[in-house]
Structure 1
């Protein structure tokens, strides 16, 4: 920081002024120039740490043997060493510190002792501490940057996960609404057509159709409220989930208006999510037969094989089905199966009609 360099400059200039005002001391040019050179170089140490380090060390090497006053520009050397190490030039800082100590040792071995052994060791300790402190602060800063980066990555991952879950929840609710509305509204449409067709010729059949419409609309409202409850929850507790299950197959089959040949062989009750998905797939497949096929009969098979629940719905209607449909029904069934790690295949049968086969892992 420039503030630190300014403090060193103030100390050095203060010492120079003290030399000039001290009686009996006659400073030479080096006493005045070298401290100012060191302090001026320190202001550039963040931009050019190695160059400043070399300038400061050369100034110190010329100052202490030749200047007449023993000033404190060694503080500038310590700051330059610390900055170089802090900015990642640890090898350069260590090399310069070692060269400085070696030069002091050679100078002291020349016969004239300027410092005793204790002072020499103290200076060596100062230089080593400056280099080590710079390395520690660099490592500390790198550690904090890594922590911040990981925290930012974790925050980004949490946001991405939240967006993914929100998308999955929207798709799940869309599937529920499609299945609930598509199935029941289709039944209402079929029964309404039957009521209109038989209201004059067979009033008793029209009455039964109207009763079926009443039940279907009531069931539609119930399941629609349960599905929309997911959207309303904030602090209201867990929402009421749709209650479709394999235990209601008889009701689903009855309301489909089809003659269904059922073959159900399921042992223990499956997990809730499997139970719901299986019931919705069967419901949607029968609805598609009712809406898009002229077949009045369908075959339904539910069996457990090799740890999987295999669901098959097929009819003997025309091979070309779903003309003009949106395709969301089949897509929704495939998404339900895939969400549980299963598969679903839907398509025309070679012998005519349509087949839906779903495999859900138990």
Structure 2
């Protein structure tokens, strides 16, 4: 890694964490695979209150080009809001809004050690702890939905639409993404958008904190089946809690077994755990709307990734994978959902 970057990070930490006396950055390692932030693993050494400390940190920096346009303050605020709660997250340490120190804005958080994330391509990544991990996964998601917004002290970037309009605001956003980034006509996406607009969901049960990308691959778990941290909150917002549940249930994240959401539990078990933890009853009609929306949202993201890669703006292999595998996958899922509606006379 560039020694200049390591030196600049060290200078920043010494200036902004004076209690970390003599802070030195021992190493900086790029973690590849993210599509919306550049992620680096840091090893640092310092004295604090007379005690020598060596620890790991993670730095998340805005990239030159990104698949998902979000404010880094959104992700940092989410970590801060849930720190110390029943929703496990890394400890947030520093947020830098200005580009000067490291060329682009960034934030720093504690590294979670002794845990790993699962690839969406893995056949059965949670064995032999599928039930244990699944129970935690859907319970934690319920706790996010149940969080007290009034106690969170969220920044202005979390301003919400009217509770009656959150579905429209999300649909408008992802339709604009498709409008801006499609490289060819998207008839399946357009048909889904038409259906979603003509058939708005029932009123939401509660305006909630929404993670925005709660799925397999975006959490760390230990070998004993304990979930250590929920990651990747860059799409967090306020909205309908069923949006998160529908995204977690999407078949793309099922590890090739759609009958077991997220590759962990049966659908009935997942819904029961979420409902108990959130304190909310699930309206089947509303959940069906958000599941259609989830597959459309996924398609919009993969359309953007294909454009980024094909234009050469971002040549990270994750962009190519998203365009070549995930895009046709969600096209097929949406087409199947629309076909079922047509068979039922509801299209």
* Smaller-chain TM-score bracket: under 0.3
Structure having the higher helix fraction is 1
Structure exhibiting the larger radius of gyration computed from Cα positions: 1
Structure having the higher strand fraction is 2
**Normalising by the residue count of structure 1, what TM-score does the alignment of the two structures yield?**
0.23
